[in-house]
Amino acid sequence: MRTDFVGRGWSFPLDVDTGGRIAMAGGAAKLEQAMRIVLGTHPGERPFRPEFGCPLRDYVFSGAGADVLAAIAGEVRRSLRRWEPRVVPADIQVFPHPDDESVLLIDIAYVVKGENDPRNLVFPFYTIPENGSD
């Protein structure tokens, strides 16, 4: 992976390394952290960049029907295309966690631009089940 293209920066969440310095991340780890930041930020949370993020929170009470899963996949694709230009989302699948109905798993297959190295990121999205149980 071309680190000059991806860059290097503070790790997220913020941490310190064994020497007591701010932990740094680069390469694939940095890209995945950046994608998690996009998906975990709701538009409007950042005052100076109000459009930044992905409106996943709008789907917390929407259930897990096929139309909702497709809508979530579309939101993820649009948000990553706009806010993470270093990757090309190839395929996005959203499906319920097999053991927990309150979790949807967002499986993002992506390629780093300029490379032929397919990668994968699974992002858990927590919902409120339709039946209202915890």
The whole-number pLDDT of residue 14 equals 82
Tell me, yes or no, whether 40 lies in a domain: yes
Tell me, yes or no, whether 84 lies in a domain: yes
Q: How many CA atoms lie within 13 A of 96 on its CB side?
A: 16
The whole-number pLDDT of residue 68 equals 95
Tell me, yes or no, whether 68 lies in a domain: yes
Tell me, yes or no, whether 134 lies in a domain: no
The whole-number pLDDT of residue 63 equals 86
The whole-number pLDDT of residue 43 equals 97
Q: Token pair for residue 127?
A: 């919902």
The CATH number for 102's domain is 3.10.450.40
Each residue's pLDDT expressed in tens, for the chain with a length of 134 residues:
554 566 778 787 788 989 999 988 888 888 999 999 999 999 999 999 999 999 999 999 998 899 999 999 999 999 999 999 999 999 999 999 999 989 999 999 999 988 888 999 999 999 987 665 55
Tell me, yes or no, whether 25 lies in a domain: yes
Structurally, the chain folds into a number of domains equal to 1
The whole-number pLDDT of residue 54 equals 98
Number of H helices, E strands in the chain: 3, 5
Q: Token pair for residue 43?
A: 């538009």
Q: State pTM to two decimals.
A: 0.83
Query: Which structural domain, as residue segments, surrounds residue 56?
Result: 3-126
Tell me, yes or no, whether 108 lies in a domain: yes
Tell me, yes or no, whether 46 lies in a domain: yes
Tell me, yes or no, whether 64 lies in a domain: yes
